[in-house]
Amino acid sequence: MALHYKVVETSNVADDELERILNEWVAQGWSFEGFHFAMRENSKRPSMAFVTFTRSDATA
């Protein structure tokens, strides 16, 4: 079985957008791994988010 990774990039780091991304990809069989945020130097709010998922694929 091969492990596949999926990274979804978004510049909208609002909670509703992150929730939408999670629900969309989990519904397609991906398992949520984590969030990674890119921070602006002069701001406490992230400018981008990378949402990572994994999935085992028995066909690979």
The residue with tokens 């999926």 is 6
The 10 Å Cβ neighbour count of residue 49 is 19
| Buried-state track 14-30, b at ≥16 Cβ within 10 A, e below 16 | eeeebeebbeebeeeeb
At residue 60, the pLDDT reads: 47
Name the pTM for this structure: 0.85
At residue 59, the pLDDT reads: 52
Beta bridge partners of 5: 54
Confidence at 1, pLDDT banded by 50, 70, 90? confident
9-56 pLDDT tens trace:
999 999 999 999 999 999 999 999 999 999 988 888 999 999 999 999
**Strands 31-39 and 46-57, sheet pairing:** antiparallel
